Amino acid sequence: MSTINTIFLLLSDGKPRSLRQIVEETGLTEKQAMNAINRQWDNRTIARSKKTKSVIDRQFRGRAGKTKNIRTFHFYTLPEHMTFEYELKPERSEPRIVKSKAIREFLEENINSAFFSREIYDCLIQKYGEKIKLNIQEIMSNVRRLEKKRLMYVRGYSGVEKQTPFQQGFLITAIDQSKTAQQALDEAFQRTELRLQDVPDTENSTLFRIYTIHDTIYTNSLKRELTAKFFLDNVLNISRYALTRAIGRCLDLYPNLKEIKIFNRFLFYYDSNVLSEADLNAQIEMKKNWLRKAAGRWNRLGHNWEAIVGWFVDRFTKDVTFWTQEHRRKAPLDPLISKRGMHPRRITLHLIKKVGDRKNKAEVDRVWEVTPTLFSESPTRYVCEAKWSIITKKTLDDFFEVLRWSKEFGADSENGRVIKTGVVPIFAASAFSDSTVRLKDVTISMASYASRLNIEIWTQARFNGMLQDHGISDIVTVRKICRAAADEYEVSAMLDAIWKEPATAEEIYKKYLLKNSTLFDIEKEMEAGKKKKSKKKSKRS
């Protein structure tokens, strides 16, 4: 017997009952009984008391003793047994508007178009006004039910685990039931594609970037070429964080676009529907050959700057203990890694939480400890990180987060994760960004922001001052030493030589320039490319 028939049979004796009494006498669950009664109340087939009744409800709670609460409830009966104390639900002056039906009819009436969920809500509110009593959240809950019946096509950013909406919500269009499933889905997808292209740039700049990235990767694939991430950077001329976000959204929206990483570092993209496997393999080999020449310069300057910082630390920090690690030697055929392997004083930290692109591990350049004194029970640990690139707020935040979430230097506290007491972060910066940092109502410089994070800053000027105080010519700077040395081991050898004989610093510097002159040809080409890019930016501005 159905739930409602069970309730009708119980109430047929003419005795009014409350919801709890109906549950106890029928054996139904409270949810089943309540839903059935509410449906029949809406259909005017069950009468309800005009006034609620309040009673003292005493319940035995075992060891907790007895509870005493005041319960307020209605009594229910059948219409043929109702008295003046009972009533039926008032009849509607206008027919009831079913929300799911209204949404479906709107999309089927406009089957040749696609709409964002926000647009559907605005159109229904404009059409029905307060009669429909619709919330914006109810649009997608009803659309998802229609989607399961294959009546609607819903499109968003397709991630690995789930879809995420566009800025204006999910994009929705009706599926034509008069056509085959394949044809109807193809047409629905094309309608959403056209609708996305109609979004103005000012309304959603992310979509504009996504289409630019898609068109660039697609046309390059037609030419049987891979598209590098730094090529897209030149095309869009946006920050690297905005670029990473736009590329990720583009890959979610177009599953046929694929990403590959060469030398486990450099990102390239291609269209798998256009570029064949043979052409892809050929392009990978060509990009590897190009990176062997061009990318070596990027790594060389960065590693040389780290070597300069490491040399000054070794020279001017006495009676300390340096941390060391035995690193696995890299493959000697890898052109981006020195054949001599990673420096033993470069330390790998273990992360308990993902920081940026690093999931489990991160590296710092030097870690050393000062021997505790009579008044200090634990040693002071200095953690040094060196970067050749321009330092921004994001760079400092990243270094701070690495230390905070590392097993070696982070700790839990009442205020969350913090850096352990006795740890001194040091950041060796080759150059600072000219931009300032906005903190609530205060604007401060990058150096002041580093001070707020308790990060000590070492600059090129500091190292150059040490060289000049030792009697070395101001012509020989740490920046020039970085550019002249072939690798970090030559940096140490050059600094040892000029420190030992300060008067011959210029001769030693010129000697290394002559020795490594063949390495600088590619650098000149790269510098020329940078100048062209800067001119384009200045013209745009």
- Same fold for the pair 3-87 and 99-197: yes
- What Å distances lie between residue 484 and 21, 211, 297, 306, 530, CA to CA? 92, 43, 11, 14, 20
Cα radius of gyration rounded to whole Å, the chain: 35
Of residues 42, 33, 30, 43, the one with CA closest to residue 11: 33
Q: How far apart are CA 355 and CA 225, in angstroms?
A: 32
pLDDT for 149-159, tens place per residue? 999 999 988 76
Q: Is the pLDDT of residue 321 over 70?
A: yes
Q: How far apart are CA 77 and CA 79, in angstroms?
A: 7
pLDDT for 465-524, tens place per residue? 999 999 999 899 998 998 888 888 889 899 999 999 999 999 999 998 888 776 665 555
Q: How far apart are CA 357 and CA 363, in angstroms?
A: 12
Strand partners, 437: 444
Which helix (H) or strand (E) covers residue 293, if one does? helix 277-316
With cut-offs at 50, 70 and 90, classify the pLDDT of residue 120: very high
Please state the separation of Cα 126 from the chain's center in Å: 36
- Residue pair 145/100 in contact (Cβ under 8 Å)? The answer is yes
Give the pLDDT score at 166.
83
Q: Is the pLDDT of residue 528 over 60?
A: no
- Residue pair 88/118 in contact (Cβ under 8 Å)? The answer is no
What average pLDDT does this structure show over 357-377? 79
Left (φ > 0), alpha (ψ -120 to 50) or beta: where does 27 sit?
A: left
Q: How far apart are CA 238 and CA 184, in angstroms?
A: 38
Give the pLDDT score at 376.
61
Give the pLDDT score at 318.
74
Q: Is the pLDDT of residue 268 over 90?
A: yes
pLDDT for 191-226, tens place per residue? 998 888 776 544 457 778 888 899 999 999 999 999
Q: Is the pLDDT of residue 336 over 50?
A: no
Q: What is the CATH number of domain 99-197?
A: 1.10.10.10
| Average pLDDT taken over every residue of the chain | 84
Instruction: Say if residue 61 is exposed, middle or buried (CB neighbours under 10 Å; 0-12, 13-18, 19+).
Output: exposed
Which helix (H) or strand (E) covers residue 69, if one does? strand 66-73
Give the pLDDT score at 326.
83
Give the pLDDT score at 502.
92
Q: Which CATH number fits domain 3-87: 3.40.50.2300, 3.40.30.10, 1.20.1290.10, 1.10.10.10?
A: 1.10.10.10
What average pLDDT does this structure show over 409-436? 86
Q: Is the pLDDT of residue 314 over 90?
A: no
Q: How far apart are CA 185 and CA 132, in angstroms?
A: 30
Lowest mean pLDDT among 105-119, 308-322, 337-351, 517-531: 517-531
Give the pLDDT score at 69.
85
Domain boundaries, the chain: 3-87, 99-197, 205-275, 296-330+341-535
More confident residue, 198 or 47: 47
Instruction: Enter the tokens of residue 213.
Output: 């990235």
More confident residue, 431 or 361: 361
More confident residue, 269 or 67: 269
- Residue pair 494/479 in contact (Cβ under 8 Å)? The answer is no
Give the pLDDT score at 468.
92
Strand partners, 375: none
More confident residue, 530 or 382: 382
What average pLDDT does this structure show over 291-316? 78
Which helix (H) or strand (E) covers residue 190, if one does? helix 181-197
Q: How far apart are CA 30 and CA 37, in angstroms?
A: 11
Q: How far apart are CA 399 and CA 454, in angstroms?
A: 12
Q: Nearest 5 degrees, angle CA 112-CA 132-CA 167?
A: 55
With cut-offs at 50, 70 and 90, classify the pLDDT of residue 332: very low
Give the pLDDT score at 330.
45
pTM: 0.48
Give the pLDDT score at 469.
92
What average pLDDT does this structure show over 125-141? 87
Give the pLDDT score at 533.
46
Q: Nearest 5 degrees, angle CA 231-CA 228-CA 434?
A: 50
With cut-offs at 50, 70 and 90, classify the pLDDT of residue 328: low
Residue type, 18: S
> Where do the H-state alpha helices sit in 204-268?
205-222, 229-236, 240-253
Percent of the chain with pLDDT over 90: 37
To 10 degrees, the CA torsion angle through 304, 306, 309, 312?
A: -60
Strand partners, 53: 73
pLDDT for 6-35, tens place per residue? 999 999 999 999 999 999 999 999 999 999
Q: Which CATH number fits domain 205-275: 3.30.1370.100, 3.30.2350.10, 3.40.50.2300, 1.10.10.10?
A: 1.10.10.10
- Residue pair 228/290 in contact (Cβ under 8 Å)? The answer is no
Q: How far apart are CA 304 and CA 59, in angstroms?
A: 78
Q: Residue 204, Cβ neighbours under 10 Å: how many?
A: 15
Q: Is the pLDDT of residue 390 over 90?
A: no
Give the pLDDT score at 133.
83
- Residue pair 482/388 in contact (Cβ under 8 Å)? The answer is yes
- Residue pair 82/47 in contact (Cβ under 8 Å)? The answer is yes
Which helix (H) or strand (E) covers residue 58, if one does? strand 53-60
Percent of the chain with pLDDT over 70: 87
DSSP state of 44: T
Q: Residue 493, Cβ neighbours under 10 Å: how many?
A: 15
